[in-house]
């Protein structure tokens, strides 16, 4: 298990006891979004990272719905 902490506008937020693989995924995703674990991040940067994830989730949901429709029509 692993803990991850990020600082946003001077406030430190911690996620505790994350499964190792998930923690590694989160750390990599934060890096790709230009968020840093070792320094302060702006709320604007965090919001941009959230929108990036929301966009991926939205796209995946649409793909799942399309696959379900295709499977039902067979």
Could you report the per-residue pLDDT of 45-58, keeping only the tens digit for each?
Answer: 999 999 999 999 99
Q: How confident is the model at residue 19 (pLDDT cuts 50, 70, 90)?
A: very high
State the Cα torsion 64-60-20-43 to the nearest 10°: -150
Mean pLDDT of the chain: 94
Residue 59 has pLDDT above 90, yes or no: yes
Distance CA 54, CA 56 (A): 5
Q: Give the SS3 label for residue 35.
A: coil
Distance CA 42, CA 61 (A): 29
Domain boundaries, the chain: 2-73
Q: How confident is the model at residue 74 (pLDDT cuts 50, 70, 90)?
A: confident
The arithmetic mean of pLDDT across residues 12-26, rounded, is 96
Distance CA 8, CA 22 (A): 21
Which pTM value belongs to this model?
A: 0.73
């Amino acid at each position: 298990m692993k803990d991850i902490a990020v600082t946003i506008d001077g406030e430190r937020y911690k996620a505790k006891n994350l499964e190792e693989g998930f923690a590694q995924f989160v750390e990599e995703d934060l890096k790709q979004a230009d968020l840093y674990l070792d320094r302060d991040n702006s709320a604007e940067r965090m919001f941009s990272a959230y929108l990036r994830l929301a966009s991926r989730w939205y796209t995946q949901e649409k793909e799942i719905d399309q696959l379900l429709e295709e499977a039902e029509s067979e």
